[in-house]
Amino acid sequence: MTELRKKVFRHLLIQTTGRVIFVLLSLLIVSLMMRYLGPEKYGFYSIAIAFLQVFGIVADFGLYTVTLQYLGISDSFKDKRKVDDLMSNLFTMRFFLALIFYGLAASIGLFFPYPLMVKIGILILSASLFFSTLIQHLSSLYQKMFATEEIFKAEVLGRIVLLCLILIFVFFNLGFYFILLTFVIANFINFLLLYSLSARFIKLRFAFDFSFWQEVFAKVWPVGLAIALNVVYFKADTLILSFYAPASAVGFYGAAYRIFECLITFPIVFLSLVLPLLATTFISSKEKFGEIFQKSFDFLVMIALPFVFGSLALGPGILEFFGGQDFRVAGEILKVIALAAGILFVGELFKQLMIVLNQQKKVLPFYFLTTIVSLIGYFILIPLYSYWGAAWMTVGVESLMFVFLLTYFKKQTGILPKMNFFLKSLFSSCLMFLFLIFFNKINILALVGLGILIYFFLLFLLKGISKEEIKEMIGQNVK
C-alpha cells in the first residue's frame, strides 16, 4: 500500500493545487460577470444554468460515478483492449445522452415563461454543458491512471481562455450573449486538450456494445435516479424562485450560490480519488475501509467548517468585493447558504458510500422523501420569504438528507465517524471567526488569508494535524 498511498497523496496534492488555481480563476470570472451584467442579467444567467443542470443530471444519470466504480474494482487496465472497449462504450453512452437531453432542454426552454434573454441563454449554455459532460468522462480515466496533472492543465487552460475571452468581450461591450458564448469556447478547448492527451492511455472511439450498455443501465439507474432527485431539490430553489421573484432577486441568490458551487468542487475532487480505494478496501479489509473512511471524513470537515464560519463572518464583504455594492445583500444570503454547504461537503461522502456499499436502491426512498419535502417547502416559503425562504429550506433539506444517510451507513457498517478531529476543527474555526469579526475593517483579501493561516495554525497546535501528516501529504515521509 505504500506506493499506492504515495500516488494518492501526490495526486491529491496536484488536484488540490489545480483546484485552488481553478477556483481562484473561477471566482475572478464570476466577479467580472457580476460587475458587468448586474443583478438582473446575472439572474438571467442563473436561471438558465439552473434549468440546464436539471437536464444535465439526467444526461449523466450517474454514469460518472459508476465509471469510477468500474475503474476502481476492475483489473481491466492490465488489458489495453478491454480499457478501450470500456471507456469507449461509456463515452458513447454519455455523448448521445448529453446530445439528446441538452437538445431537449434547449427546445423545452423555448416554451417556458422566461424572458427571451433566458431562452437564448439556455440554448447557448446547453452547448457548454454538453462539452462539460464529455470532459467529466475523460477526467475519470486520468484519475484512475493517476495522471491528474493532465486534468489540472486542461482545467486551468480552459479557465484562462474563458477569463481572456470575457475580458475582451467586456472591453468591447459585446453584451450578455457573447459572455455566455465564452463558456462554450472554453469547454470545447478543454475537451479537445483532454481528448488529444488521452491517446497515450486509450484509443477512444464510438462503440456500441449493447449488452454492456444494458449491464451499465442495470447498475446505474438507482444511482442516476438518486442523483436526479438530489439535483431536483438542489436546483429547484432557483427555478421556483424565478417564478415568484424578479430576476434581480434570482441574481442575488445565484451569486451567493455560485460562490458555494465554486468551492463544492473540492470534496468532489477528493472523493473521486478516494472512492476507488473505499470500494477496494470494503471488499478486502473492513479495518482499512474504516481508516480511509475516517480520514476522508476528517479531511472534508477540515474544509467545511472554516468555510462555514468564514462565510458567517465575511459574507457581505466577500460578495461586495466580487460584485460591487449592488451584490452586498447576496453576502447575507451566503451566510445561510454556507450552512447548507458545510453539511453538503461532509454529506457527499455518505452519498458516495452508498454506491460503495451497493445500497443505491435501498436509499432511494430517502431521496424521494427529501425531494418531496423540499418541493413542498420551496413552494410554501419562497412566495412568502423570497430568497430567504429558499436558503433556509436548503439548509433544512441538506440536514435531513445527512441524518438519513449517516443513520443508514451506521446500520450497514456499524461505523460512526470519530469526533475528535471535528471538535478540534470546530474550536479552531470558532477562534478564527472571532478574529475575523474583531478585525473586520481590514482588507477582505487580507482577512481571508489571515483567517486561513490562523485556522491551520490553531489546528496544528491542537494536534489536529501533525508534522508527519504534512510531510506524508507532500510525499516525503510515507511509511
Could you tell me the three cell numbers for 339?
A: 450552512
Q: Does the residue 117 lie in any domain? A: yes
DSSP 181-214: HHHHHHHHHHHHHHHHHGGGT--------HHHHH
Q: Residue 76 and residue 93: Cα distance in Å, rounded?
A: 19
Domain-embedded: residue 79: yes
CA angle 469, 474, 476 (to 5 degrees): 80
Domain that holds residue 13: 2-418
Q: Can you tell me the distance from the alpha carbon of 110 to that of 114, in angstroms, rounded to the nearest whole number? A: 8
Q: Give the model's pLDDT for residue 471.
A: 52
In this structure, are residues 94 and 134 in contact, taking their beta carbons and an 8 Å threshold? yes
Q: Using an 8 Å Cβ cutoff, are 252 and 132 in contact?
A: no
For residue 340, how many other CB atoms are within 10 A of its CB? 24
Report, in angstroms and rounded to the nearest whole number, the Rg of the chain calculated over CA atoms.
Answer: 22
Whole-prediction pTM: 0.81
pLDDT of residue 8: 55
Using 50, 70 and 90 to split pLDDT, how confident is the model at 144? Answer: low
Inform me whether the pLDDT recorded for 465 exceeds 50. yes
Q: What mean pLDDT comes out for the span 31-43?
A: 94
Among 385, 401, 389, which Cα is nearest to 344's? Answer: 401
Domain count, the chain: 1
pLDDT digits (tens, 9 = 90+) for 103-136: 999 999 999 989 999 999 999 999 999 998 888 8
- Using DSSP's 3-state secondary structure scheme, residue 439 falls into coil
Confidence of residue 197 (pLDDT cuts 50, 70, 90): confident
Compute the distance between CA of residue 110 and CA of residue 457 in angstroms, rounded to an integer. Answer: 53
pLDDT digits (tens, 9 = 90+) for 246-258: 999 999 999 998 8
- CA distances for 26 relative to 42, 66, 120, 451, angstroms: 15, 28, 23, 21
Mean pLDDT for 70-82 is 59
In a domain, 367, yes or no: yes
CA geometry: angle at 118 spanning 116 and 119, to 5°?
Answer: 65
Q: What is the pLDDT of residue 464?
A: 80
The DSSP 8-state label assigned to residue 111 in this structure reads: T
Handedness of CA 436, 310, 394, 409 (dihedral sign): negative
| Contacts for 177 with CB less than 8 Å, ≥ 6 apart | 120, 121, 124
pLDDT category at 1 given cuts 50, 70, 90 is very low
Q: Which three cell numbers stand for residue 452?
A: 486561513
Q: What is the pLDDT of residues 270-293, one digit of tens each?
A: 777 787 778 788 888 888 899 889
In this structure, is residue 31 part of a structural domain? yes
Considering the chain, what is the average pLDDT of its residues? 84
Strand ranges, E, within 113-163: none
Is residue 12 within 8 A of residue 240, CB to CB? The reply is no
User: Is there a contact between 228 and 365 (Cβ–Cβ < 8 Å)?
Assistant: no
Identify the pLDDT of residue 171: 93
Residue 469 pLDDT greater than 60, yes or no: no
User: Once rounded to an integer, what is the mean pLDDT over residues 135-163?
Assistant: 75
Residue 192 located in a structural domain: yes
pLDDT at position 79: 59
The C-alpha atoms of residue 364 and residue 223 are separated, in whole angstroms, by 9
Is position 35 within any domain? yes
Question: Do 142 and 155 form a contact (C-beta atoms < 8 A)?
Answer: no
Q: What angle do CA 28, 32, 34 make, to 5 degrees?
A: 115
- In the structure grid, which three cell numbers stand for residue 120, read together? 437564448
Q: For residue 348, is it within any domain?
A: yes
- What confidence tens digit (pLDDT) does each residue in 300-358 have? 999 899 999 999 999 999 999 989 899 999 999 999 999 998 998 899 899 888 878 87
Question: Binning pLDDT at 50, 70 and 90, where does residue 67 land?
Answer: confident
CB 148 within 8 A of CB 142: yes
For 211-235, letters b (16+ CB in 10 Å) and e give eeeeebeebbbbbbbbbbbbbbbbb
| Mean pLDDT, residues 22-37 taken together | 89
Cell matching residue 210: 449493447
In a domain, 153, yes or no: yes
Q: Please give the backbone phi and psi of residue 39, each rounded to the nearest 5 degrees, phi first.
A: -60, -40
pLDDT at 90 over 90: no
Give 402's pLDDT tier (boundaries 50, 70, 90). Answer: very high
